[in-house]
A and B are shown apart, each in its own frame.
Chain A
Amino acid sequence: MLEMKPKPAAAPLPVKGKETRIRVLSLLVEDGQNTLTKVSGVIRRRGFHVRGISVGPSRQPGRSRITLQIDHGHAEADQVRKQLERLVEVVEVEDLTGDEVHSRELIVAKVAASELEALLQRGAKVLSTGPDGTTVEFSGDADEVGDFVNELARHGIVEVVRSGPVVMRRTE
C-alpha cells in the first residue's frame, strides 16, 4: 500500500468540530480589486472551506493582513499554504497552526439592561445603554467567546455580532 502520510503537522488550534482539519494562516497581501476574489477562489477551487476570516490593514502601506481558519478538506494539510503562496497577490503566508498564539475574536451584543453583572464579571465592556437594552463588547479566544455567547443566551440576546479571529504568534 502506498503510504500517504502527511508531513508531521503541529497540533491544530482548538476549534469545535473537525479539529484536525483546521489550519490557521496569517497572510500579508497586496491591496487590490482582485485580491480577496483570488484568495477565496483558490480556497473554493481546491476544496477547502473557510471557518473564520478577518481582514484589516497591515503596517505596510498598500498591504493588508488576512487571518484565515481553513478546513483543508481531503487535501494534505500543507496544501492550503502552498496553494495560497502560488497567488501573485499574496506576499507572505505564515502557518500558525499549533503554534503558541494570541488568538482573539470580538463580539458585540445587545442584552436586557438589568442582567449585566455576570457579563461584566467576565470582562465585557459597556458600549451604550438605552431603554431597550445595553450593548456590550467582549473579546477573547474562540473558547472564551463561545462561553460568553452561552452566557448571553441565558440573559436573552436581543442582537449579537461576532468577528473572525485575529491571530499573532507569542514571542515572549
Chain B
Amino acid sequence: MILEALEREGVEYIFGYPGGANLPIYQHLPEHPNLKHILVRHEQGAAHMADGYARASGKPGVVFATSGPGALNLVTGLCTAYMDSVPMIAITGQVVSTQVGRDAFQESDVIGATSSVTKHSYLVTRIDQLPRVIHEAFHIATTGRPGPVLIDICKDVQQADAERITPQYLDLPGYKLNGHVNLDQARQAAQALAGAERPVILAGHGVLLSHAERELMQLSEAAAAPVGTTLLGIGAFPVKHPLSLHMTGFMGTGWCLKAVQNADVLMMVGMRVDDRVTAKLSEFAPNVKTFIHVDIDESEMGKNVRPHIELVADARLALEAMLPHVGKVQADRGNWLAQIDEWREEHPLRYRHSNGQLQPQDVLIDMYRRAKSEAIVVADVGQNQIWAALWWNYDRPGLFINSGGSGTMGFALPAAIGAKFGRPDLPVWCVAGEGGFVMTAQELSVAVEHQLDVKIVLLNNFSLGMVRQFQDDFYGGVRSQVDLTHMPDFVKLCEAYGLPALRVEKFEDIAPSFDAAERTKGPFLIDFRIDPEANVYPIVPLGKGLNEFREAPEYA
C-alpha cells in the first residue's frame, strides 16, 4: 500500500536501507519496477542523495530507513534539508504499534528526535491513516516553503491488508500557505526601490525555489538596482550580468559588501537574513532607510532584521506584482553604479599563484573553462565550498548545490550521486575537501555500482582548512586538531572501491587530469594536493561588521 501510494505521487527513485522494522515494505519492492531503489551504504548518505536529487531535479527526494539507528542516522540529512528548504519524504519503519514505548529492539522515539528538523512528521499506527498521510506528506513537503516530512510507520501497519485504498484527501486545517501578494505592499516596495538613491537587491534560495529568476532580472534592470546573491541563492542572477554583485555574506565579494553597507534601500528576496549574511547584526547595512523583505514564510519577517515593507508571498508572484509599479527611476543611478564599479576594481577576487604550489582556484578555473556553465557543481562544506561558490560564474539556476544553512560536512559525495540520478543529462562535479569526503566516502560504492558519471574533485590540503584558517586568523594562531596528514592514499582507496583516480600535484597536470576524467565513463576522482596554506578571501572576522572584510594580500 505504501509503495502504491508512492507510485501515485510520481516517485521514481528511493534512496534507502532495509532493516528489521521496514522488512514488509522491502518484501513487496520487487513488485514495483517503476520504483528504482538505490541501496546506500549508510542512511545519512540516503538522506543527502535524496537532497541532491531534489535540488537538481526539483522533485521531492524519497528516503527509506528502518527504526532506531537507521532512522536516527537520517537526522543530519534531515536537518540539512530542513535548513535549506529542500522537499523530502523520509519513510521510517517503527516497531509494532503494541511494542511502542516498551524499549523494544531498535525502538527509538523518531518523531521526538526529528521534530525540530522536519517541516512536519507523522506516526502511523493504523492502516486506514496511511493513504491520507502519504498524500499529505507530499503536499506539505513540496508546497509553500518546502521541507522534509517524516512518516514513521509501525511494522504491523506495513503488514496489514487493506481492502481498498481509501480515496486520497487532504485534511490540513492548520497548514497555511502564503502565496498571495498584498498589492499595496508590492506597490510600496516597488516605489521605494525606484525612489532609492543607492538600491541593492539580495536574492536567496527562495528565488530559485519559486523560479523567479526572470522576474528578478526584469525588476533589477527596470529599477537599475544591482543584485547580490546569498550562498544558496547562487544562480538566481547571472554573475556576469553588469548589475551582478556576485555573492554577499561574510565571505562575499568586497564590492557586494560595500554596496550593502552603503545602500539606502535594501530588498531581500527569498532569504532568511541569517548571521552568515549579516555578520555583526548591529552593523549590518547601517545606511539603509528602507528594508524590504520578501519571503513566503511569515516567521522570517523580523526574525533577524525588521523590515519596513514586508511581502509574505511567493517570490515570483511578489516580484511580478512589483514590476508595473517601478515606473521611472527617479534618482540618477549613474553615480551609484559607477561607485560599485570602482569598488569592483578596488577589491577584485584574487589569489596567490606564484609560490609553485597547486592553488585550488587554478583547479576550479580550469574546471569552469571546460564546463561553460553546463554542469552541476555539488560542493562540500568549508574552504572548498566558498572557493567553488566564488570562482565559478554560475549564470543559471540549479547548477550549484551545497549545504548552506546546516553546513554539513560529508554532504557533497552523496548529494552529487543524488543530483546525477536527478539530472542524468548534465555533467555532475563533486568538489570536496579530504576532511568532509571521508565522512561519507563509503557511498563511492553506489557511484561504482551504478556507474554514475560523477567526477570528484578532491581539494586535498591535509588539514581541516577552514578551521585552520580561523585558528590562524581569529584564535591566536593556535593550530589545534586540524592536521589530517594521516589519511588514506585516495588513489588506492578508489582502486579498492573500483573507480579510476589520479593524483595531481603540479599546475601543469591539472588540464591532463581533467582530460582523463572527461574521457572516462563512470565515476572518477582526482586528488589535487593543493597549497596547505591557501585561504578563503574575502572574509569578515568573526563578530565584526561586513565593512571590516579582509582581503587576500596583494601577492607579488
B441 to chain A, nearest CB (A): 32
Q: Is the CB of B116 within 8 A of A33?
A: no
Q: Is the CB of B116 within 8 A of A29?
A: no
> Given contacts A1-B282, A5-B306, is CB(A82)–CB(B299) below 8 Å?
yes
Please tell me if A163 contacts chain B, counting CB pairs below 8 Å: no
CA–CA, A41 to B114, complex, Å? Answer: 11
Q: Is the CB of A2 within 8 A of B286?
A: yes
Please tell me if B156 contacts chain A, counting CB pairs below 8 Å: no
Please tell me if A75 contacts chain B, counting CB pairs below 8 Å: yes
**Would you list which residues of chain B between 111 and 134 have a CB under 8 Å from chain A?**
111-112, 115-116, 119-121, 123
Encode contact with A along B286-328: 1 for CB under 8 Å, 0 otherwise: 1010000000011101110110000000000000000000000
> Given contacts A83-B299, A85-B298, A86-B297, is CB(A2)–CB(B285) below 8 Å?
yes
B299 contacts across to A, CB distance below 8 A:
79, 82-83, 85-86
Q: Is the CB of A45 within 8 A of B116?
A: yes
Please tell me if A115 contacts chain B, counting CB pairs below 8 Å: no
Q: Is the CB of A2 within 8 A of B298?
A: no
Q: Is the CB of B115 within 8 A of A34?
A: yes
B284 contacts across to A, CB distance below 8 A:
2
Please tell me if A161 contacts chain B, counting CB pairs below 8 Å: no
Stretch at the interface among A87-95, A104-112, A125-133, A138-146: A87-95
Q: Is the CB of B115 within 8 A of A75?
A: no
Q: Is the CB of B306 within 8 A of A76?
A: yes
**Would you list which residues of chain A between 66 and 120 have a CB under 8 Å from chain B?**
75-76, 78-79, 82-83, 85-92
Q: Is the CB of B176 within 8 A of A85?
A: yes
Please tell me if A3 contacts chain B, counting CB pairs below 8 Å: yes
A88 contacts across to B, CB distance below 8 A:
119-120, 140, 172, 174-175
CA–CA, A29 to B174, complex, Å? Answer: 8
**Would you list which residues of chain B between 137 and 170 have a CB under 8 Å from chain A?**
140
Please tell me if A30 contacts chain B, counting CB pairs below 8 Å: yes
Please tell me if B334 contacts chain A, counting CB pairs below 8 Å: no
A37 contacts across to B, CB distance below 8 A:
111-112, 115
Contact of A34 among B123, B174, B176, B305 (CB under 8 A): B123
Please tell me if A154 contacts chain B, counting CB pairs below 8 Å: no
Q: Is the CB of B305 within 8 A of A2?
A: yes
Please tell me if A7 contacts chain B, counting CB pairs below 8 Å: yes
**Would you list which residues of chain A between 1 and 23 have a CB under 8 Å from chain B?**
1-7
CA–CA, A50 to B302, complex, Å? Answer: 22
Chain A residue nearest to B145 (CB atoms) is: A86
Contact of B174 among A2, A6, A7, A30 (CB under 8 A): A30
CA–CA, A45 to B281, complex, Å? Answer: 21
Chain A residue nearest to B172 (CB atoms) is: A88
A155 contacts across to B, CB distance below 8 A:
none
Q: Is the CB of B111 within 8 A of A34?
A: yes
Q: Is the CB of A91 within 8 A of B173?
A: yes
Q: Is the CB of A89 within 8 A of B298?
A: no
Q: Is the CB of B282 within 8 A of A2?
A: yes
Please tell me if A38 contacts chain B, counting CB pairs below 8 Å: yes
> Given contacts A34-B115, A85-B298, is CB(A4)–CB(B174) below 8 Å?
no
> Given contacts A29-B174, A30-B173, A88-B172, is CB(A79)–CB(B116) below 8 Å?
no
B257 to chain A, nearest CB (A): 15
Task: Give me 19 other A-B pairs in contact (C-beta within 8 A), A2-B288, A85-B176, A90-B174 excluded.
Answer: A1-B282, A2-B281, A3-B306, A5-B306, A7-B306, A30-B173, A34-B111, A76-B303, A76-B306, A78-B302, A82-B298, A82-B299, A82-B301, A83-B299, A85-B298, A88-B174, A89-B174, A91-B173, A92-B174
Report 11 cross-chain contacts, Cβ distance below 8 Å, ordered by A residue: A2-B283, A2-B286, A5-B306, A6-B306, A34-B121, A37-B111, A41-B116, A78-B302, A82-B298, A85-B298, A88-B120
A binding-site residues for B, Cβ under 8 Å: 1-7, 29-30, 33-34, 37-38, 41, 45, 75-76, 78-79, 82-83, 85-92
B binding-site residues for A, Cβ under 8 Å: 111-112, 115-116, 119-121, 123, 140, 172-176, 281-286, 288, 297-299, 301-303, 305-306
Q: Which 7 A-B pairs have the closest CB atoms?
A: A82-B299, A91-B174, A76-B302, A88-B120, A41-B115, A91-B173, A88-B175
